[in-house]
Structure 1
Amino acid sequence: MSFRFTKHVSQKIFRIQRYGFPVNKTFIKQTIQNPVRVEERSDGTKIATSILDEQHCLRVVYRTEDDIIIIITCYPGRRKAYEV
């Protein structure tokens, strides 16, 4: 399986890093491959969640087309809000 990062995600990674979170493309791939939780949405996209630190998690929105995982966006959130 290969990964494709949209331009939006590449920009988003930079913004998330500016807030001090250790997010990069490798971490995003690991989140998809070994998530704490995955949610499937009615539009066919999935949201994988991983833990960033004691209070925060990373949410990665993606979809699969053939053998390609297309990463749409990612964002940090409070673990308490997502129950992880």
Structure 2
Amino acid sequence: MSAKDIENRFNYLLGRITALELLTAGMLATADEERRKVAAAYLEMAYVGGLNSNVSEHLLKGFRSTKENLLSRLSEPPDGS
């Protein structure tokens, strides 16, 4: 696999991850308090699962950043409130 192929694959995956993060943020923006608590619990469980599975530090840093970003959105009032 060439360096260009690796770069293209990385950019493709980054695009998918970004789209999923934006989708999740949008869904959380309109979620009620109960659903927000469930989402927060799943984010915490996924992070702990990553810690326990010895994934790379870079993957954990990326996940931690996304988790913190989404959890900060959970503290905002839902749209339309």
TM normalised by structure 2 equals 0.26
Q: Which has the larger radius of gyration?
A: 2
Would you tell me which structure has more helix in proportion to its own residues? 2
Structure in which a larger fraction of residues adopt strand: 1
The alignment's TM-score, normalised by the length of structure 1, stands at 0.25
